[in-house]
A and B are shown apart, each in its own frame.
Chain A
Amino acid sequence: MSSYLGRILLVDDDQKVTRFYTATFNRAGYQTVAASDLSEMRDALSRQSYDAIFLDLKLGQENGLDGLPYVLKNAPFTKVFILSSQNSIDKAIECMDRGATWYFTKGAEPDDILAKLSHYLNDRPVPTNNGMESWRESMVGSSPAINDTAGTIRKLKDVDSTVLILGESGTGKEVVARALHEASSRSAGRFEAINCGAIPENLLESELFGHKKGAFTDAKQDRKGIFELCDKGTLLLDEIGDMPLSLQTKLLRVLQEKEVQPVGGSSTIKIETRVIAATHRDILDEVKCGRFREDLYYRLSVIVVQIPALRHRKEDIPLLVEHFIKKFSKRFAREIKPPGQAIYARLMSYDWPGNIRELQNAIERGIVLSSNGEISIDDMFAHFKVRTLDESPDATGDLAFLDHPFFDLPLTDAKQAFEKSYIERLLKNNKGNIAELARKSGRYRADLYRVIERYGIDVESFRQEK
């Protein structure tokens, strides 16, 4: 097999097609995972980072293009290639307008696909001529807090110490980890990210350290783990606070000995992988409660980088707003005027508990709902109107609807506001259980995922509610 080139997610409901391309990509040096629908695609993306996704347009009853917004929002570093049997220039243009990198028709020469893939994966952004390091440009902002973080990255770029990134959800921990990799002498090597909280315990060990053929029922051949795949590169262990205790012991040994032992193997493999760990949890509290090993904490926290919450760097909000308007105007092909002072004042007065991710969602919503080329506070905060209804549904009885701002909206907008409210109410009542939501609403899960994506509903927050 060739040297490792990257990780690919293949989304297609036809096993004959996934078998062909999995073999083709693997043979060329990629590690390929197949998903048969959008739900499996989302699960795979929540577990680890992918360099590229090959997405079919017709996935049974689902439209593959409906998965594109999710990828663009949740895996912004992943390139999306459409692989479809539809030989249509209009469709190709539509897909690329919506954010796909390239459009292939099934039947294209495998070598041409591999060449194009390699071209786009090695295509690094051209630095703008503003004297700023390219990795610094990915960290939007000029506040003292973000400048401090950038200063720490500069100090760390030539050392190999383990780094622990702490920060609330939505602050951009992966962006900082990637910046650390890009700034370092390892930048020519691989960057991989794995979500320790999203992978079942029995699979996580194999994902991290690899396995030997026959180690367990599905181990039909030797497989390298992520530590070995990004040897001489950087590995982000995201949500390290959620790693099972049994694996914490093994991870500690890997960090100490700098070698891994594949599952079912008897010998060890030397690795030179730089480890960056990240968590949104209060990790010291996890240590105190006995859920996280103290010795592993000290091993990981040689250097701690604390990412500031957005409320502590509000002076960056205008730059972030500008950045997101540019991004979404392009994606949705809308001309959006720069917001006025009054809008900025309102945005600055809010505390953004969901941090940059929440601001990004608000701007996206503002642009999508805008009908006159301007973004409005009402559109950006439309979800709050709905939440107000949600919080006291019974206090005033059903007649509360009569006073609801639905009635100030055009009918189409009111229907959408109600739909969002309805979904959120059911998610709240069912603690974010999608299967239950599908049953109660009488809709297919795939449809519901589309609605959830459209309104930027954070399902996870309902699962965490006590």
Chain B
Amino acid sequence: MGMTEQNFVSRFNNDEFYRSLLVSFSNDLPAVLEHLQKFVSGEQFAEAAAVCHQMVGSSATYGYPALAGIFEHLESVLEKEVADHELIASDIRMLKTVGEKICEFTATLAEN
């Protein structure tokens, strides 16, 4: 799920320039997820949906379509009139898992 070394190579040809952008993106990711969690805990669903919307675009831009897909799903869940707490919690758990994998992957990029 998410970015693998193989699709990084095919998408950006293992380019140093994109490598640094990806590292910077993944470095920001934990803070974004924490921010999102705070909005959700405070039941500020409109604000949380706005964060998700931005992350749909930036995740896709940086080559993480699966991550973009989860953010997109969560955005639609958050925009519903009645909050589905179970679904929201499940999406956030999934985002954290994928986010950790992305961070692990980019840590290897930064080392290489």
Query: Residues of A at under 8 Å CB distance from B?
Result: 12-14, 16-17, 19-21, 23, 27, 56, 58, 60, 84-85, 105-107, 109
Contacts and interface: CB of A to CB of B under 8 A. Distances in A.
A58 B53 contact: yes
Interface string B57-77: 110111101001000100000
A106 B58 contact: yes
A85 B21 contact: no
Interface of B: 11, 17, 21, 24-25, 28, 50, 53-54, 56-58, 60-63, 65, 68, 72
Contacts of B62: 16, 20
A84 B68 CA distance: 13
Contacts of A106: 56-58, 60-61
Contacts of B53: 58, 85
A20 B54 CA distance: 14
B68 A16 contact: no
B57 A85 contact: yes
A107 B54 contact: no
Given A16-B25, A19-B21, A20-B21, A84 B57 contact: yes
Query: Can you list the 5 inter-chain pairs with the closest CB atoms, starting with the nearest?
Result: A107-B60, A85-B57, A16-B58, A106-B57, A85-B56
Contact of B28 (A16, A20, A84): A16
23 contacts: A13-B54, A14-B54, A14-B57, A14-B58, A16-B25, A16-B28, A16-B58, A16-B62, A17-B61, A19-B21, A20-B61, A21-B61, A27-B17, A56-B57, A58-B53, A85-B53, A85-B56, A85-B57, A85-B72, A105-B60, A106-B58, A106-B60, A107-B65
A109 B65 CA distance: 12
Nearest to B60: A107
B17 A85 contact: no
B86 to A, nearest CB: 26
Contacts of A109: 11
B53 to A, nearest CB: 6
A16 B61 contact: yes
A84 B72 CA distance: 13
Contact of B21 (A12, A23, A58): A23
Contacts of B65: 107
Nearest to B13: A111
A16 B63 CA distance: 13
A23 B17 contact: yes
Given A21-B61, A85-B60, 16 more contacts: A16-B28, A16-B61, A17-B57, A17-B61, A19-B24, A20-B58, A56-B57, A60-B50, A85-B72, A106-B57, A106-B60, A106-B61, A107-B60, A107-B61, A107-B68, A109-B11
* Most chain A CB inside 10 Å of its own CB: which residue of B11, B17, B60: B60
Contacts of A27: 17
Contacts of A16: 25, 28, 54, 58, 61-62
B27 to A, nearest CB: 11
A60 B54 CA distance: 9
Contacts of B28: 16
* Most chain B CB inside 10 Å of its own CB: which residue of A16, A23, A58, A60: A16
A221 to B, nearest CB: 15
A21 B17 CA distance: 12
Nearest to B54: A14
Contacts of B24: 19
Nearest to B75: A85
A162 to B, nearest CB: 40
Nearest to A16: B58
A12 B68 CA distance: 17
A411 B12 CA distance: 57
Contacts of B25: 16
B70 to A, nearest CB: 13
* Most chain B CB inside 10 Å of its own CB: which residue of A12, A20, A23, A58: A20
Contacts of A84: 57
B95 to A, nearest CB: 16
A154 B61 CA distance: 47
Nearest to B53: A58
A14 B50 CA distance: 11
Contacts of A107: 60-61, 63, 65, 68
